[in-house]
Amino acid sequence: MKAALITEFDGSVDLEVVADPTCPRDGAVIAIRACGVCRSDHHAWKGADPDVVLPHVMGHEFAGEVLETGPECHRFRIGDRVTAPFILGCGSCPDCRGGDPTICDHQQVIGFTGWGAFAERLAVQHADFNLVRLPETVDFVSAAGMGCRVTTAFRAVVDRGTLAPGEWLAVHGCGGVGLSAVMIGAAIGARVLAVDINPQALAMARDLGATETIDAAAAAPDVGDAVRDATDGGAHVSVEALGLTETFGNSLRGLRKLGRHVQIGMPVGAHATPSLPLLELVYARQISLVGSRGIGAARFSALFDMVAAGRLDPGALVTARIPLSGAGEALRAMDEFRGHGVTVIDRMDA
């Protein structure tokens, strides 16, 4: 099969012919029809994720068709249109059985602990537990971002942040997952404030439902104060969607008393250990800090219901479609936070 292969971190991403994946006994092999290019892929390409071993194939936001199933896969058939969360649970541990596969001790992460979907084919283990059928109303390109960005934002905003209609949601960082959070917050009836330094990203946030926007570069160093001024005393829920120390601090300072901070962005390197204003914010304002990483397959149905009802349009996030050979250029563009929206690979043989 063809795959976008990296053999050195921060190096070229080359289209190569590699061996087809072997189908797990309880798994399936998927013919990839589309795959999103995510900032987490950028982290992997840079060498910031310790699970990535070279040579490597990235990509975790996939949609495609079942090509082959193992003898212990019973719920899926050849030709089924599917996607999956990027965190694959074992399906049998207490966490998985309790509905929390994202903290499974035996998890595998597509495109990180194993080869991913920047390729013509992908093997998925524990398919009966992890694969998700796509409704006919969701095309492959729209679905490609749902395995990470839209689904991750949904769990962060709805399940972890418990955002309610009428509350203020602040979103710090309007990349793919941040824009997804904006769209979901607006869909459930919250008032949404988007914060970024990119005018195009802020314009797109407004198109997706943000009622207020803040240019963080213009508001610096008082972004938190600007958020509180714009939200009548502070956001009820604030999402950090970049994994940066600066935006983490801005998110905390923009909360109102008893507010909830949700960490979606993956902090790597020096950003993994930021200072925390424990007395001023956590103790005095009594704010809550929660992490959110991925989503389980069982929660996709709630998202699909919102799509079917016309409340969400994941395809609205897609601003660029590229061939597989363009993966390297798309990753390089993330070095400088250029562009906006979501880039999707939709031609896997070129």
pLDDT reported for residue 146: 79
Over residues 216-227, mean pLDDT: 96
Same domain, 52 and 126: yes
Q: Is the pLDDT of residue 325 over 70?
A: yes
Same domain, 15 and 128: yes
| Better pLDDT: 117 or 340 | 117
Q: Is the pLDDT of residue 145 over 90?
A: no
Q: How confident is the model at residue 223 (pLDDT cuts 50, 70, 90)?
A: very high
Looking at the structure of the chain, the number of domains it has is 2
Report yes or no on 29 lying in a domain: yes
Report yes or no on 154 lying in a domain: no
Q: Is the pLDDT of residue 337 over 80?
A: no
Same domain, 199 and 276: yes
Domain stops at, among 291, 307, 339: 291
First-residue to last-residue Cα distance in the chain:
12
Same domain, 300 and 255: no
Pairing outcome for strands 255-263 and 132-133 = unpaired
- Which tens digit of pLDDT belongs to each residue from 77-98? 999 999 999 999 999 999 999 9
Q: How confident is the model at residue 148 (pLDDT cuts 50, 70, 90)?
A: confident
Over residues 4-20, mean pLDDT: 97
Give the Cα separation of 208 and 205 in Å (integer).
5
Token pair belonging to 131:
């694969």
Q: How far is CA 56 from CA 7, 180, 269, in A?
A: 7, 28, 21
Q: Could you tell me the CATH number of the domain that includes residue 15?
A: 3.90.180.10
pLDDT reported for residue 340: 81
Q: Is the pLDDT of residue 174 over 70?
A: yes
Choice among 126-130, 135-139, 225-229, 340-344 with the minimum mean pLDDT: 340-344
Domain of 197?
162-291
Over residues 235-251, mean pLDDT: 97
Q: What is the mean pLDDT of the chain?
A: 96
Report yes or no on 156 lying in a domain: no
Domain stops at, among 269, 291, 313: 291
Domain stops at, among 270, 291, 312: 291
Query: DSSP letters of 119-168?
Result: BSEEEESSHHHH-EEPPTTS-HHHHHTIIIIIHHHHIIIIIIS---TT-E
Same domain, 140 and 10: yes
Same domain, 220 and 129: no
Same domain, 315 and 183: no
Measured N-to-C along each axis, helices 176-187 and 199-207 cross at an angle, to the nearest 10 degrees, of 30
Report yes or no on 157 lying in a domain: no
Show Cβ contacts of residue 273 under 8 Å, excluding neighbours closer than 6 positions.
none
Q: Could you tell me the CATH number of the domain that includes residue 214?
A: 3.40.50.720
Q: Which of 163, 242, 162 is CA-nearest to residue 201?
A: 242
Same domain, 82 and 195: no
- Which tens digit of pLDDT belongs to each residue from 270-280? 899 998 899 99
Q: Is the pLDDT of residue 46 over 90?
A: yes
pLDDT reported for residue 1: 98
